[in-house]
Structure formats: structure tokens, C-alpha cells
């Protein structure tokens, strides 16, 4: 592991309104995340940013009004991850609720067609004779695909959130907060959030035209889709700024109150969670991986059908299938991770001698799992990583993951500008990207990638830094505070769950479940004994009976066992003191 540097967040000003509104520890946590007044938390749907600031939304709504009222055949073209699945489901459900007569969906199989609205997937779509294609969570880079649709006389509305390239597709409307000239400030809105906004604007336009009166129904309550919006938002690891926090909070509240669609209820059950106590991290670590497994190994339509199912029993059958795919995905991932670590060992380099940016490839690796592999290796070596798997026609498909300070999509763009022959295509975000290269250029690209990362990062940037909310004393480490923190989210990307650090006496240590270190720690000042667990511990280092004092970075958690509830420390970093 890289050298660990534990940095405590600065102590906030003591005269903020938040200090008079909530528990002192929670006030310190909120203030360090920019929340100076409880009104800034984002809990009320009335606080959502207005859709009028989103460029292209009026053109999209005008075309959708024509399609809905004219009974046109519409086809949703989605993506094969959780954001794509929830986006597709929101679009279909909302359009049907608003009286659209012909709505279906098409999600490219990643192994046959790759990502987005490609010319090849347009050929498949055209066979269904739609009059309108609507992309969700993709399309901003589909210049050729939109052009092919135009040849068939099919209009395209693009709804997306990914960063655009130099050329935009010639769609009849583009709704993407990250496109040039868009004034919508919530740039971190993901695919499902974008299509949700489009559907809100569409409902308003149809209401103003008297559409719902004409078809004899009330305007639909689109808040019923917020469980989907919350799941997709957390799963896509976008920043939980205020607008996204509002969407996620409201979705969680609906689920906890039992207002949850059968598909999500089935995923909650198969994940071993209780919908009444669901938190945002359950979306990311329990529900989303099961949905994503379908897109990684087979076909995301299994996940979409689960989310669309109106019947709980059928949804449970599909959720069980997704759970089985996720177990298979984990087995494949473990094998690939062992092979990747073996590659690192064969390099015979000390960790400090590894290239700044690391590219890994094995001929037998699975295209659907390389993204997770890149993420796991990145966490281990704390530098940008790209994992490659075999593609078609002598090409390699790559999935990239980055660290703070290196914008991975812009880094690939810089390589393409200098060496245009190296990259067939690429796209993505600051922290994740996908790319295609020729197999015989792997070594050449690996060196170019390492050089580009080294140009932008220093040795200091590669140190593993963990920001904590400071230390808790024995009186503060309590079930009451653990419960309060659990209920004070949603926590997520760029609004991180509270993390503490401190030194403890190590009273007991043993491995459970093959890789997890179960401990009893004692808080020195109070003598309080605490249960703690460190998941996926390095079993080459732990347990170590020669160590009786440790420095721990941890989260407060509530452990439930046989009806008894107690405070537990979830250990994220463990060091001898």
C-alpha cells in the first residue's frame, strides 16, 4: 500500500447558524462540507432548480408533445449500466403515464454494438420503425448514429450528461447540462436526473395544452419515479451537490415509507436489506452492482424488465437472476484481480518505481468486468489505471479509472491530440473513461499514458491521502450518534459520509469470512470496549499478535444481531500506532 497520510478537515467557524440547529458533531461535519445553514441541505422538492435553465429542453419538449399527442412510435435507446437502466425505465414509465401509446426501448449489447447510439444500433432500431428515438445517458458523442437515423427519416432527441466532444450530433434536440452554452448550474446531474427533468417539463407542457383533460385523466405524479432517480444518481457516483441530494433524499424517503416499485423492492430483498432502513450507500454497494451485472455479463434488458415489472413475484424472479449474475461477476473479478496483481509482481518494481499511469492487459479478460478491475487496482496503487480486454478486429477495449488531480477524459484527449493514431475512440468523465486502441499499439499507448499522467501529477499527488472529521471521545462514540449520522445524509460522492480517526488499544483480532478482520478496540481515555471490523483486510499483515495499539480511520455504524443493536466501528484504514 502507498504511504498513508491522514488529514483532518479544518475546524469550521464557530458562529455559523448550523451550530445552533443540530448536534455539535453533526454541525462540524456539515460545516466542513459547505452546509452553514440547515436550509442548504436540500430536502424539499420545491427547492429543485428550475428546468428552464437547461439548454435544449424546450426543443425536446416540443418534439415530445408532438410525439405523445400524435400517437407516434417512440424508442428509448439506453445504456448498459445502472444509470442507463434507471433512465430508460423513467422515460418509459413517464411517457406511458402521460398517455403515450407506443413506447419501447433498446439497449445495445456491449459485446455486439458497444456504447451509445452507433450506426449499427440505428440499423436495429430502424427495423422497429420508430418515428422518434430518445437517447438516455448517452448520445452526446453519437454523431454518426444520429446522421444514420436521419437517413431513415427518424428524429433523435439526445438526453445525456457525459462531456461532449468537438462535434455535436445533428439531433432535433440535445439536453445535456454539460453541453456548451448550458446555464443549468447542476452540472453533476446524471442521465436519470436529466430525463426526469425532461419529463417534468413535458408534463407541464401537456397540461397547458389540455392534453390530460382530453384523454380523461389527471396529470401523473412523477414523484413516483424518484426511487429510480435516487438509485441511478447514487450508482453513477456523481457529486451529491444540493440538487442531487434533494433527488436522492426524496427517493429514499419514498422507499422507506413503502412507496417503492416492485423491481427495486425485489433488489432490496435479494440484497438482504430492509427498505425501512435503506441508506444511500445501499444503492451503490448492494442494488447497483446487481443491476450492473446484467450489463456486464449478459444483457441489461434483464435489469430494465426487473425495474419495469408491475408484479412483485416476477420482479423477484428477475432479481434472483441478477443476483446470480452478480455472484458470477465477483468470481470473474477475483480471478482477473489475481492475474493483475501477478502482472504487477512480474514487473519486479518497487511501488515507487511503478509508472505514474498504469495499463494492464490479459487476453482472457472479460470486457464487462475491466472497469471494476481498473477501480480495484487503482485503489491498491493510488494512480490512474486502465484495464484492457480483447475487442473485435484486432482491437482492445479499455476502461480507465483515475485519482483526484488527473482528469482522465481530458488526459486521453491530450494523448489523442499529440498521437492521433493511438486512440480509435474514447469518452467519459473526470474519474472514469472508456477507450478503444489497436492491440499492436498497447505498449506504445501504455508509455504515452504513463508520460501524460507524469506530465500532470507529481510524486506527492500519488500519496494516499484520507480526509477525516477528526477524533471522537468515548462519550461521543455511541449508538445515538451512529443513528443520527445514518439519518443525516444522504452521503455520497463529494458529500462524503463522516469518517473519523483515532488511536485505540487492540484487545482482540481474528479473521472471519476468509478476508475480514474482526476486532475489539478500547478507547484509551474512557476504557470503552468497541466492536470493530475491517473488511477485505490484508491477510499478509493481519492479524498480528505483536501489535497492541493501532491508529484507525473508521465510520460509526449500527450493528444489528438477533434483535440487539449496538455501535460498531467500520474500519477503512488500519495502521500500527
Do 433 and 387 form a contact (C-beta atoms < 8 A)? no
What the block records as the C-alpha cell of 468 is: 477525516
Q: What angle do CA 263, 264, 269 make, to 5 degrees?
A: 100
pTM of the model: 0.92
- Pairing state between β 500-512 and 425-428: unpaired
Q: What is the 3-state secondary structure (H, E, C) of 424-454?
A: CEEEECCCEEEEEEEHHHHHHHHHHHHHHHH
Per-residue pLDDT of the chain (577 residues; tens, 9 = 90+): 457 899 999 999 989 999 999 999 999 999 999 999 999 998 999 999 999 999 999 999 999 999 999 999 999 999 989 999 999 999 999 999 999 999 999 998 777 777 789 999 999 999 999 999 999 999 999 999 999 999 999 999 999 999 898 899 999 999 999 999 999 999 999 999 999 999 999 999 999 999 999 999 999 999 999 999 999 999 999 999 999 999 999 999 999 999 999 999 999 999 999 999 999 999 999 999 999 999 989 889 999 999 999 999 999 999 999 999 999 999 999 999 999 988 888 775 556 678 999 999 999 999 999 999 999 999 989 999 999 999 988 999 999 999 999 999 999 999 999 999 999 989 888 899 999 999 999 999 999 999 999 999 999 999 999 999 999 999 999 999 999 999 999 999 999 999 999 999 999 999 999 889 999 999 999 999 999 999 989 888 999 999 999 999 999 999 988 888 999 999 999 999 8
CB distance 150 to 171 below 8 Å = no
Q: Tell me what pLDDT residue 298 has.
A: 86
Q: Which residues contact 117 (CB under 8 A, 6 or more apart)?
A: 77, 133, 135, 138, 139, 142, 145, 146, 149, 156, 158
Please give the pLDDT value at position 109.
78
Rounded to 5 degrees, φ, ψ at 560 are -115, 125
Region for residue 119 given its phi and psi (left: phi exceeds 0; alpha: psi -120 to 50; beta: otherwise): alpha
Distances in Å between the Cα of 8 and the Cα atoms of 5, 29, 286 are 10, 11, 29
Q: Among residues 376, 326, 312, 294, which one has the least CA distance to residue 86?
A: 294
End-to-end alpha-carbon separation of the chain, Å? 17
- pLDDT number for residue 561: 82
- Predicted local distance difference test score (pLDDT) of residue 351: 60
DSSP 3-state assignment of 417?
helix
Structural domains in the chain?
4-32+469-576 (2.40.50.460), 45-221 (3.90.1640.30), 339-464 (3.10.310.30)
Q: How do beta strands 528-534 and 464-468 pair?
A: unpaired
Residue 350 pLDDT: 57
In the prediction, which pLDDT does 2 show?
56
Q: Tell me the C-alpha distance between 313 and 455, whole Å.
A: 55
State the pLDDT at residue 348.
56
Block residue for cell numbers 441541505: 41
The pLDDT of residue 116: 87
Letter string b/e over residues 138-176, b meaning 16 or more CB atoms within 10 A of that residue's CB: bbbbbbebbebbbeeebbbbbbbbbbbeeebbebbbbbb
pLDDT at 42: 85
Residue 99 and residue 124 in contact, taking contact as beta carbons nearer than 8 Å: no
Tell me, what's the pLDDT at 562? Answer: 81
C-alpha cell at 54: 437547461
Amino acid at each position: 500500500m502507498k504511504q498513508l497520510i491522514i488529514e483532518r478537515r479544518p475546524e469550521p467557524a464557530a458562529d455559523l447558524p448550523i451550530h445552533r440547529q443540530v448536534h455539535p458533531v453533526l454541525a462540524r461535519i456539515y460545516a466542513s462540507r459547505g452546509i452553514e445553514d440547515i436550509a442548504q441541505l436540500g430536502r424539499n422538492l420545491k427547492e429543485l432548480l428550475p428546468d428552464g435553465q437547461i439548454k435544449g429542453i424546450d426543443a425536446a419538449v416540443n418534439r415530445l408533445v408532438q410525439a405523445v399527442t400524435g400517437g407516434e412510435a417512440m424508442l428509448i435507446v439506453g445504456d448498459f449500466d445502472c444509470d442507463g437502466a434507471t433512465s430508460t425505465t423513467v422515460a418509459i414509465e413517464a411517457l406511458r403515464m402521460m398517455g403515450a401509446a407506443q413506447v419501447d426501448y433498446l439497449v445495445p449489447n456491449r459485446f455486439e454494438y458497444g456504447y451509445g447510439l452507433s450506426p449499427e444500433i440505428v440499423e436495429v432500431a430502424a427495423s422497429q420503425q420508430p418515428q422518434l428515438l430518445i437517447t438516455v445517458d448517452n448520445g452526446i458523442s453519437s454523431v454518426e448514429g444520429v446522421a444514420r437515423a436521419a437517413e431513415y427519416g427518424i428524429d433523435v432527441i439526445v438526453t445525456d450528461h457525459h462531456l461532449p466532444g468537438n462535434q455535436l450530433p445533428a439531433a432535433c434536440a440535445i439536453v445535456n447540462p454539460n453541453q456548451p452554452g448550458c446555464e443549468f448550474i447542476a452540472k453533476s446531474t446524471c442521465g436519470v436526473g436529466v430525463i426526469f427533468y425532461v419529463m417534468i417539463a413535458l408534463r407541464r407542457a401537456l397540461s397547458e395544452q389540455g392534453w390530460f383533460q382530453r384523454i380523461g385523466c389527471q396529470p401523473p405524479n412523477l414523484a413516483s419515479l424518484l426511487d429510480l432517480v435516487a438509485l441511478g444518481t447514487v450508482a453513477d457516483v456523481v457529486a451529491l451537490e444540493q440538487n442531487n441530494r434533494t433527488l436522492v433524499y426524496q427517493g429514499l424517503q419514498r422507499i422507506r415509507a413503502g412507496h417503492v416499485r416492485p423491481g427495486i423492492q425485489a433488489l432490496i430483498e435479494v440484497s438482504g436489506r430492509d427498505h425501512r432502513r435503506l441508506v444511500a450507500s445501499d444503492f451503490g454497494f448492494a442494488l447497483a452492482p446487481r443491476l450492473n451485472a446484467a450489463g456486464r455479463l449478459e444483457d441489461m434488458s434483464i435489469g430494465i424488465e426487473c425495474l419495469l415489472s408491475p408484479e412483485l413475484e416476477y420482479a423477484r424472479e428477475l432479481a434472483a437472476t441478477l443476483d446470480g449474475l452478480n455472484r458470477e461477476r465477483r468470481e470473474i473479478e477475483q480471478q482477473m484481480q489475481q492475474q493483475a496483481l501477478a502482472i504487477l509482481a512480474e514487473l519486479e518494481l518497487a511501488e515507487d518505481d511503478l509508472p505514474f499511469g498504469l495499463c494492464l492487459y490479459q487476453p482472457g479478460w472479460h470486457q464487462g468486468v475491466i472497469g471494476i478491475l481498473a477501480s480495484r487496482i487503482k485503489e491498491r496503487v493510488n494512480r490512474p489505471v486502465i484495464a484492457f480486454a480483447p475487442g473485435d478486429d484486432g482491437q482492445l477495449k479499455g476502461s480507465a479509472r483515475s485519482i483526484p488531480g488527473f482528469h482522465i477524459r481530458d488526459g486521453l484527449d491530450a494523448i489523442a491530440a499529440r498521437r492521433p493514431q493511438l486512440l480509435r475512440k474514447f469518452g467519459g468523465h473526470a474519474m472514469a473513461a472508456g477507450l478503444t486502441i489497436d492491440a499492436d499499439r498497447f505498449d506504445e499507448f501504455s508509455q504515452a499514458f504513463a508520460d501524460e499522467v507524469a506530465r500532470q501529477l507529481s510524486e506527492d499527488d500519488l500519496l494516499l491521502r484520507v480526509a477525516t472529521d477528526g477524533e471522537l471521545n468515548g462519550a461521543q462514540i455511541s449508538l445515538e450518534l451512529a443513528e443520527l449520522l445514518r439519518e443525516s445524509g444522504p452521503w455520497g460522492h463529494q458529500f462524503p459520509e463522516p469518517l473519523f480517526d483515532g488511536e485505540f488499544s487492540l484487545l482482540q483480532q481474528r479473521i472471519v469470512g476468509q478476508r475480514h478482520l474482526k476486532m475489539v478496540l478500547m478507547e484509551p481515555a474512557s476504557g470503552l470496549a468497541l466492536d470493530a471490523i475491517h473488511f477485505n483486510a490484508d491477510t499478509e499483515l493481519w492479524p498480528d499478535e505483536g501489535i497492541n495499539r493501532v491508529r484507525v480511520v473508521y465510520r460509526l455504524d449500527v450493528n444489528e444481531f438477533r434483535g440487539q443493536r449496538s455501535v460498531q466501528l467500520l474500519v477503512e484504514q488500519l495502521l500500527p500506532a
